[in-house]
């Protein structure tokens, strides 16, 4: 097995490190996370430079705002390597990444798994089992390096989907970022007054489930939505179209039409999910 | 323990019958459900008339469209009773019910629990554990009859909330009917073309959870929405207000504002759910 490294061991990076069959080597700017990682039997590198120079594949698990500077450090550190380092990331929006170091092969990646929790303490090796992992290699990535990354993520029990970054971003806006906006919007639609308790007091599984991801750390959710602004607005416009259809039927008192609309949704969901 | 009857043993009525510590007596127009009920050790009445004349408390578990006729039959059958029968229902909208039989004490009820499945075969006795059960007694219901019903539903492990029907309907529009509309609307926003598979292929837990209830039987979902039209439209209008707030910030590129909005939603949800 290739030697695998992870820099940034939050929920996703930590789950990668814990999920691999052989201990990954990790680094993080947070010393507490590194202590926890050591206690769990992971190898801890002394620095990002050391990590870059001791592994074959490196996952960058840091959030959006830290990615550029960490990737710059990785490129600088890779200059002294003897063979190329395959680098991937886990961000929920695939943004352009400029590779300037010949020793770095970058392939954008995004595991379609997560929870509303964050941090290494919530990371679990089983997070990705049966999940989909999107990879978006650019045309200049050769087959061998792609295979090295693909075989590594397969060790986590995922199915790989190869796509273009633009298509990925449009789809995640609809199936991930929009649910996060809707979850928060449903909560914000409950006025924070003395009636709030009576509203939440009746909440059953439908409300709990449809608002679950509103408990995600706000900075994480906001970063993915802000970095995918146009696609999220587009997904919201499509959703408003569906809501318009429901509203028109309800206003018209068209009970049969409402049944048909719900029936179409049920058919589509049952067929695809 | 009082003798308990259930007419209409679908998901909710069946779960009541299965969840009581002593076998309930049940009746249903579907003979297959009755066979299954008998096999599970429940008592099966030979007719609704027999059921009405052998129990102290009767739950009507039939859906909206059957309620009026079943309730009329119950009232007619109760005329020969020696003492009043306490009757409750389980509909997700509390509509006016006209009691004409002196032997019938009706108290509207609504257990805040369910799944996207239906039918006796999906009923489970644990469905209501730790759930909330809304009861809306009218002013003429005496304490003794209310206590009889309340003590019965408590046997299912629920917490009782007493409310006015109007308040109940406004709240469930927001925390149950709206999530159902949003789940369906999100599915309907995915075009049913050759790209559908690539969209659903990336769906992770956020999309699965936020669309789960779109797999509910369409007739059941439509009935609750159609019977609570004004309140559902009101809840939709409030939701659109929250969506407007997100859209304005996204359009303005106000990243910090988006963080703040998500942070407010997270704070509210974590405090209340």
- pLDDT number for residue A124: 96
Contact: B214, A163; criterion CB under 8 Å:
no
Out of B167, B186, B200, the one facing A239 most closely (by C-beta) is: B186
**Number of neighbouring beta carbons within 10 Å of residue B17:** 27
Residues of B in contact with A205 (CB under 8 A): 113-115
Residues of B in contact with A201 (CB under 8 A): 132, 161
Contact: B213, A201; criterion CB under 8 Å:
no
Residues A265 and A158 in one domain: no
User: Tens of pLDDT along B6-50?
Assistant: 999 999 999 999 999 998 999 999 999 999 999 999 999 999 999
Closest chain B residue to the Cα of A265, Cα to Cα:
B184
Residues of A in contact with B221 (CB under 8 A): 262
Residues A154 and A116 in one domain: yes
- pLDDT number for residue B136: 97
Q: What is the CATH number of the domain that holds A247?
A: 1.10.3660.10
- pLDDT number for residue A180: 96
- pLDDT number for residue B149: 98
Closest chain A residue to the Cα of B164, Cα to Cα:
A198
Contact: A225, B258; criterion CB under 8 Å:
yes
Give the minimum alpha-carbon distance from A267 to chain B in angstroms, rounded to a whole number. 8
Give the minimum alpha-carbon distance from B233 to chain A in angstroms, rounded to a whole number. 7
Computed over its alpha carbons, how large is the radius of gyration of chain A? 21
Final residue of a structural domain among B118, B139, B163: B163
Residues B206 and B76 in one domain: no
**Can you tell me the mean pLDDT for B152-175?**
96
**Number of neighbouring beta carbons within 10 Å of residue A23:** 14
Give the minimum alpha-carbon distance from A102 to chain B in angstroms, rounded to a whole number. 32
Could you tell me how many CB contacts below 8 A there are between chain A and chain B?
Answer: 293
Contact: B272, A115; criterion CB under 8 Å:
no
Residues B12 and B107 in one domain: yes
Could you list the pLDDT tens digit for every one of the 273 residues in chain A? Answer: 689 999 999 999 999 999 999 989 999 999 999 999 999 999 999 999 999 999 999 999 999 999 999 999 999 999 999 999 999 999 999 999 999 999 999 999 999 998 889 999 999 999 999 999 999 999 999 999 999 999 999 999 999 999 999 999 999 999 999 999 999 999 999 988 888 888 999 988 889 999 999 999 999 999 999 999 999 999 999 999 999 999 999 999 999 999 999 999 999 999 999
Residues A88 and A50 in one domain: yes
Residue B191 has pLDDT above 90, yes or no: no
Final residue of a structural domain among A98, A129, A163: A163
Residues A200 and A66 in one domain: no
Contact: A243, B236; criterion CB under 8 Å:
yes
In a mutational test of the B interface, the residue from A175, A197, A220, A251 whose CB has the highest number of chain B CBs within 10 Å is: A175
- pLDDT number for residue A268: 96
Residues A19 and A138 in one domain: yes
Residues A33 and A141 in one domain: yes
**Can you tell me the mean pLDDT for B160-169?**
96
In a mutational test of the A interface, the residue from B113, B176, B195, B203 whose CB has the highest number of chain A CBs within 10 Å is: B203
Give the minimum alpha-carbon distance from B171 to chain A in angstroms, rounded to a whole number. 6
User: Tens of pLDDT along A14-27?
Assistant: 999 999 999 899 99
Contact: A236, B242; criterion CB under 8 Å:
no
- pLDDT number for residue A192: 87
Give me A66's structure tokens: 């830290």
Contact: B190, A174; criterion CB under 8 Å:
yes
Contacts 24+ apart (CB under 8 A), B21-29: B21/B155, B25/B51, B25/B54, B25/B55, B26/B51, B27/B51, B28/B120
Out of A247, A268, A273, the one facing B236 most closely (by C-beta) is: A247
Strand order in the sheet with A132-136: A43-44, A25-27, A4-7, A57-60, A85-89, A104-111, A132-136, A159-162
Contact: B132, A201; criterion CB under 8 Å:
yes
Whole-angstrom distance, CA of residue B94 vs CA of residue A130: 42
Reduced 3-state DSSP string for B81-129:
CCCCEEEEECCCCCCCCCCCCCCEEEEEEEECCCCCCCCHHHCCCCCCC
Contact: A198, B131; criterion CB under 8 Å:
no
Contact A199, B174 (CB under 8 A): yes
Q: How many domains does chain B have?
A: 2
Residues of A in contact with B209 (CB under 8 A): 179, 209-210, 212-213
Q: Rounded to 5 degrees, what angle do the CA atoms B195, B219, B176 make?
A: 85
| Cα end-to-end span (Å), chain A | 34
| Distance, CA of B243 to chain centre | 27
Output the pTM of the full model: 0.90
Contact: A199, B174; criterion CB under 8 Å:
yes
Residues of A in contact with B197 (CB under 8 A): 272
Residues A196 and A220 in one domain: yes
Residues of B in contact with A189 (CB under 8 A): 174, 235, 238-239, 241-242
**Can you tell me the mean pLDDT for B224-245?**
98
Contact B264, B242 (CB under 8 A): no
Residues B230 and B189 in one domain: yes
Out of B163, B185, B269, the one facing A246 most closely (by C-beta) is: B185
Final residue of a structural domain among A121, A137, A163: A163
Q: What is the CATH number of the domain that holds A99?
A: 3.40.50.720
Reduced 3-state DSSP string for chain A:
CCCEEEECCCHHHHHHHHHCCCCCEEECCCHHHHHHHHHCCCEECCCHHHHHCCCCEEEECCCHHHHHHHHHHHHHHHCCCCCCEEEEECCCCCCCCCCCCCCEEEEEEEECCCCCCCCHHHCCCCCCCCCEEEEECCCCCCHHHHHHHHHHHHCCCCEEEECCHHHHHHHHHHHHHHHHHHHHHHHHCCCCCCCHHHHHHCCCHHHHHHHHHHHCCHHHHHHHHHCCHHHHHHHHHHHHHHHHHHHHHHHCCCHHHHHHHHHHHHHHHHHHC
Contacts 24+ apart (CB under 8 A), B20-26: B20/B125, B20/B152, B20/B155, B20/B156, B21/B155, B25/B51, B25/B54, B25/B55, B26/B51
Contact A58, A73 (CB under 8 A): no
Find the domain containing A208 and state its range.
Answer: 167-272
- pLDDT number for residue B247: 98
> In sequence order, which ranges of chain B are alpha helices (DSSP H)?
11-19, 31-39, 48-52, 64-78, 143-154, 165-172, 178-188, 196-201, 205-211, 218-226, 229-251, 255-272
Quote ipTM for the complex.
0.90
Residues B89 and B187 in one domain: no
**Number of neighbouring beta carbons within 10 Å of residue B67:** 18
Closest chain B residue to the Cα of A266, Cα to Cα:
B215
Contact B79, B107 (CB under 8 A): no
- pLDDT number for residue B227: 97
Whole-angstrom distance, CA of residue A111 vs CA of residue A206: 26
What per-residue string of b and e applies to A40-62 under the rule 16 or more CB within 10 Å gives b? eebbbbeebbebbbebbbbbbbb
Contact B210, A213 (CB under 8 A): yes
Residues of B in contact with A113 (CB under 8 A): 204-205
Residues A149 and A189 in one domain: no
Q: What values do phi and psi take at A13, rounded to 5?
A: -60, -40
Give the minimum alpha-carbon distance from B64 to chain A in angstroms, rounded to a whole number. 13
- pLDDT number for residue A152: 97
């Amino acid at each position: 097995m290739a030697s695998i490294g992870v820099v940034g061991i939050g929920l996703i990076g930590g789950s990668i490190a814990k999920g691999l069959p052989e201990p990954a080597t990790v680094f993080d700017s947070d010393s507490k996370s590194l202590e926890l990682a050591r206690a769990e039997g992971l190898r801890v590198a002394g620095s990002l430079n050391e990590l870059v120079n001791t592994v074959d594949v490196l996952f960058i698990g840091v959030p959006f705002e830290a990615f550029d500077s960490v990737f710059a450090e990785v490129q600088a550190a890779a200059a002294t390597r003897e063979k190329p380092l395959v680098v991937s990331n886990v961000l929920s929006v695939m943004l352009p990444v400029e590779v300037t170091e010949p020793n770095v092969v970058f392939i954008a990646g995004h595991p379609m798994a997560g929870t509303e929790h964050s941090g290494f303490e919530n990371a679990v090796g089983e997070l990705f089992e049966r999940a989909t992992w999107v990879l978006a290699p650019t045309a200049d990535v050769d087959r061998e390096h792609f295979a090295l990354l693909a075989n590594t993520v397969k060790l986590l029990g995922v199915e790989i989907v190869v796509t273009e970054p633009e298509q990925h971003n449009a789809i995640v806006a609809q199936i991930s970022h929009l649910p996060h906006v809707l979850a928060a919007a449903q909560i914000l639609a409950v006025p924070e007054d003395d009636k709030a308790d009576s509203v939440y007091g009746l909440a059953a599984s439908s409300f709990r489930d449809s608002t679950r991801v509103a408990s995600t750390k706000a900075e994480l959710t906001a970063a993915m939505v802000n970095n995918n602004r146009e696609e999220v607005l587009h997904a919201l416009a499509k959703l408003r179209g569906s809501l318009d259809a429901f509203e028109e039927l309800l206003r018209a008192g068209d009970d049969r039409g409402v049944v048909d609309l719900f029936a179409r949704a049920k058919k589509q969901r049952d067929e695809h999910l």
